[in-house]
């Protein structure tokens, strides 16, 4: 058996081993997981596509097989190699978004960024329906702990309407003073005008809940991402 034929046989057997192990249900699932072309892999296995040295080594590297694995003459003597990785590549590209402070966030609206000078820039893979309406904030205080800690970065989409249970950036007005806050959005009823009565609820029970029957509340945006530095 020549080298190319051996590679085709070994690739078929390796994928079959992964399917039999329960890691994947089909060839297509294997290809999707490793961001491979299903038709290209099929051609490599069935002899309709080239399977040279570079293609073999690149495929081994991408899947996580040892260098030269597809060239083994007697693969029956080798234990099937099953990748146990629980991570994979993301297909979304990073893009830049403005990093605002809480005062600037209070000036943000659903038609997009209005030219206020951001305190910095951040990056996200989140796109959304209106990418220009996406910004980031640094969490302040402990009202949303333990899930969100001071210094964590959150990504906010100002074009989204909140749903019950959404985490939101909102503006609450008390005694004529507007403050921007990060809370959980809760609908508790409907008033006589058919408008939702809402509460802004902290995740930390030591902090107060705001009620729209007592103070003026407006929603700036819905939190869609949470970034945190891991201590090591």
Gyration radius of the chain's alpha carbons? 26
Task: Identify the pLDDT of residue 62.
Answer: 87
Give the residue-averaged pLDDT of 198-213: 94
**Tens digit of pLDDT for each residue in 107-164?**
555 444 455 677 888 989 888 888 888 999 999 889 999 999 988 999 999 999 999 9
- pLDDT band for position 89 (cuts 50, 70, 90): low
Mean pLDDT of all residues belonging to the chain:
84
Task: Return d(Cα 228, Cα 154) in angstroms, integer.
Answer: 9
Mean pLDDT is lowest, of 78-87, 97-106, 144-153, 175-184, for 78-87
Fold of 3-77: 434 Repressor (Amino-terminal Domain) (1.10.260)
Please state the domain extents for the chain: 3-77, 95-227
Report angle CA 11, 13, 14 to the nearest 5 degrees: 65
Which pLDDT score is estimated for 112?
47
Instruction: Measure the CA–CA gap between 31 and 26, rounded to whole angstroms.
Output: 9
CA 154 to chain centre: 12
Nearest to 203 by CA among 184, 221, 181: 184
Of 103, 138, 136, 102, residue with least CA distance to 122: 136
Superfamily of domain 95-227: Umud Fragment, subunit A (2.10.109.10)
Which is more confident, 126 or 83? 126
């Amino acid at each position: 058996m020549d080298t190319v034929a051996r590679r085709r046989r070994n690739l078929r057997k390796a994928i079959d081993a992964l399917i039999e192990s329960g890691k994947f249900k089909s060839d297509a699932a294997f290809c999707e997981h490793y961001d491979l072309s299903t038709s290209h892999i099929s051609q490599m296995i069935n002899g309709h596509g080239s399977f040279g040295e570079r293609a073999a080594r690149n495929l081994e590297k991408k899947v996580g097989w040892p260098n030269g694995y597809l060239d083994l003459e007697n693969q029956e003597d080798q234990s099937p190699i099953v990748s146990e990785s629980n991570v994979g590549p993301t297909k979304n590209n990073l893009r830049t978004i403005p990093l605002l402070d809480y005062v600037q966030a209070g000036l943000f609206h659903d038609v997009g960024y209005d030219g206020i000078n951001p305190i910095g820039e951040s990056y996200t893979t989140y796109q959304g329906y209106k990418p220009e309406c996406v910004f980031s904030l640094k969490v302040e205080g402990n009202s949303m702990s333990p899930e969100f800690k001071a210094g964590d970065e959150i990504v906010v989409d100002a074009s989204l309407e909140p749903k019950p249970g959404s985490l939101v950036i909102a503006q609450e007005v008390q005694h004529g003073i507007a403050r921007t806050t990060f809370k959980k959005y809760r609908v508790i009823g409907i008033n006589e005008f058919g408008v939702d009565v809402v509460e802004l609820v902290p995740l930390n029970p030591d902090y107060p809940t705001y009620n729209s029957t007592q103070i003026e509340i407006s929603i700036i945006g819905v939190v869609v991402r949470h970034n945190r530095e891991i201590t090591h």
